[in-house]
Amino acid sequence: MEENQAFVNFSEKSSLKIALVGNPNSGKSTLFNALTGLHQKTGNFPGVTVDKKTGFAKLNATVTADFVDLPGTYSLYPKSLDESVTFEVLCNPANKDHPDITIIVADASNLKRNLFLVSQIIDLKIPVILALNMIDLVEKEGDTIDTARLSERLGVRVIAVSARKKEGIEEIKQALLQPLPVPQYDFIDLRKIAGDTIDKIRAVIHLNSDFAAFHSIHNLPEIHYLDDKPEKKAKMEAILKAAAHDTNKLQSLESVERYKVINRIVAECVFEKTEVKSETFTHKLDGILTHRIYGYAIFLIILFFIFQTIFFLAKFPMEWIEGLFVIISQWATNSLPAGEFTNLLVNGIIAGLSGVVVFVPQIALLFAFIAILEDTGYMARVSFIMDKMMRRFGLNGRSVIPLVSGVACAVPAIMSTRTISSWKERIITIMVTPLMSCSARLPVYTLLISLVVPQSKAEGFFNYQGLILMCLYLIGFIAAISAAFVFKIILKAKEKSYFIMELPVYRSPQWKTVTRVMFDKVKVFLFDAGKIIVAISVILWFLSSHAPGNRMETIEKKYTSTEMTLKYSDAERNVKISSEKLEASYAGILGKSLEPAIAPLGFDWKIGIALVTSFAAREVFVGTMATIYSADNKDNSQTVRDKMQNEINTKTNLPTFTMAVSVSLLIFYAFAMQCMSTLAVVYRETKSWKWPALQFLFMGTLAYFSSFIVYHILK
């Protein structure tokens, strides 16, 4: 660094605002986690539905650093919604999230490409620390980077780190407390490209650098710190109109100039081994995993393994949890005095909770596998191999991430479509993502599959339940890309699409990260979905335990008559009383009113009640079944699965849940839009009720007619 380099010192502030920015897959989020530990929270950036991940760390006894993890970007020219957030935060000094210090995270093993974004941020003339991440991979290859020389050439503090190994973390924290150099010289001379326009813009409004002025030529509509200065913004618009720049040409010239300087810096600071390098492990593995034939086959094998494992491993804890809730129900029934409160506790709250907690092992395993696939770098390869196929259906490789994420939950999956620059492809991805079978469907699938295929149908690790589950997920994917093809024909757009994705090196998963993901997702399922399920279970208990007028008393009186006591045993009378009371209740009335519409699908009025309640959230189906059959059957020694398996259709005297009915119900839940949260996020992302309304309509129609066809084929 130059001797006359200007420095800025923030050590006297009690709280520092730190932004982390970098290319996708540069290890930015890993460094963020290492810096902040468990002190994190997620929200949205003001005015935009883009995830805002924030955290804090104590730098010393008096100074706290508030970190914000900005979305990954390759440059400060935004091409998608999430990239525009990084642009707005760094380039807008009036933004309340504008940082005191910016930590640029660069992949040291791919320094040349990463330095492009570094050079743009340096040209903003803001305090910067360059964190050279994955330095251990560089050293493993036998290469070296002269960080002192690199720091001197860039005019900023450079620290070598390995975020995954937590090496260099303390050095970054100490650097934040020390005087930091502020870049004084332009990385490139932008005046050679648009000097007159830069001068005119800087004459209108005070800016820190030529690059800030040059940047406004491309992004003036996005510069919100001029919103309260309409006269100055009008002058700048007039300047740009008169100059009539070809912004694409300006960006090309800028890129050429930047890479000229970057090439010289890399030549001075990066020293590679002189001998010819052998093919890396990543390249060798990519030759197999991204192969145009083997790649798809391996992906299917991985999915098969995941679903087999989910059923094989989750079976044991699920049985323990079911047994535990049976014991709790029996204890409550036998220990507490008979009455409304005990009835509510056993048939409302405990029954509802059992429908939530029993599926925790499967939810945890599903999210663990997803976290492992992402952390190893394999998920990026799935996007790469799927890109060519996706384009035929109106999508691109970036659509794979939301679709695969939709296996966990459609809400964050739809929010992740912000990385798709094409409006048409983004809308199509948003519309079809809910067809992917999410974790909310998993409890429904598990319960219904167990009615179709008993657990005894297994041969060691292999089981038929896991095979059916995989088929349901594949059906969701086929439905999603088929619907995308229809939307491709219907929606018209002239914009060109592109797909750029950095393939990270393969690495072993961080088990702490995997465990944290499992814990966070299970917590969300238990407390967010659980609250809805238990609340609806309590409401259902009330609706199924009460009826208009004196219907309940009339049924009690009917079965206490001498004729009935002689005709039926006490146990038989209790079953009939419970059954007739449920049918006469408010819940029964609701179900009976729906029965004519759903009877063609093989569903009775009890299933109809579950269909209505599960429009709040799909997984409510299980809690509803638990509550309905607890009201209908007072035998608390049985699990909800046993009660459903033993349920008899009074019209046919056959089991209610036959193969035809169960499969019809599985198909209905595979396609139907039964998630209010998803509809809300679709509205928030599209800013229109047109798209969620269309989504609800086309998915509902698809679900109804698919179930109708399946039921009548199988019955």
Within-domain flag for 459: yes
Residues 473, 310: contact at Cβ < 8 Å? no
Within-domain flag for 436: yes
Answer with the one of 166, 181, 196 that is the final residue of a domain.
181
State pLDDT tens for residues 108-162. Answer: 888 888 999 999 999 988 899 999 998 888 877 778 899 999 999 999 999 999 9
Number of domains making up the chain: 2
Residues 31, 21: contact at Cβ < 8 Å? no
What local confidence, expressed as pLDDT, does residue 38 receive? 62
| Domain encompassing residue 420 | 294-490
- Cα torsion 546, 549, 550, 554: sign: negative
How many other C-beta atoms can be found within 10 angstroms of the C-beta atom of residue 348? 25
Within-domain flag for 537: no
3-class SS of residue 534 = helix
Within-domain flag for 521: no
Within-domain flag for 595: no
DSSP characters over 238-292: HHHHHHT--HHHHHHHHHHHHHHHHHHHHHHHEE--SSPPPPPHHHHHHHHHT-T
d(C-alpha 150, C-alpha 167), whole Å: 19
Phi/psi of residue 48, nearest 5 degrees: -150, 140
Which residues in the chain land under pLDDT 70?
1-5, 38-52, 220-228, 273-280, 355, 454-462, 493-502, 528-530, 533, 575, 616, 630-639
Phi/psi of residue 53, nearest 5 degrees: -95, 120
d(C-alpha 162, C-alpha 34), whole Å: 10
Answer with the one of 135, 153, 181 that is the final residue of a domain.
181
21 in the same domain as 146: yes
Within-domain flag for 524: no
DSSP characters over 447-508: HHHHHHS-TTSEETTEEHHHHHHHHHHHHHHHHHHHHHHHHHHH-------------PPP--
Residues 386, 400: contact at Cβ < 8 Å? yes
What local confidence, expressed as pLDDT, does residue 23 receive? 87
Q: What is the dihedral of CA 607, 611, 612, 615, to 10 degrees?
A: 160
Pick from 151, 195, 191: nearest CA to 175: 151
- Largest Cα–Cα separation, the chain: 107
Give the CA distances from residue 477 to residues 164, 390, 471, in Å, rounded to whole numbers and listed in that order: 33, 11, 10
428 in the same domain as 305: yes
Within-domain flag for 363: yes
At residue 122's C-alpha, the angle toward residues 116 and 128, to 5°, is: 115
Within-domain flag for 676: no
Where would I find the H helices in 156-229?
169-177, 191-204, 210-219
How many other C-beta atoms can be found within 10 angstroms of the C-beta atom of residue 20? 25
Answer with the one of 451, 466, 490 that is the final residue of a domain.
490
Global model pTM greater than 0.85: no
- Express as a percent the part of the chain with pLDDT over 90: 18
State pLDDT tens for residues 443-469. Answer: 888 888 888 776 655 565 667 788 888
What local confidence, expressed as pLDDT, does residue 13 receive? 81
Strand 128-133 and strand 157-160: the pairing is: parallel
For residue 463, the cross-strand partners are: 458
**Domain CATH for 111:** 3.40.50.300
174 in the same domain as 316: no
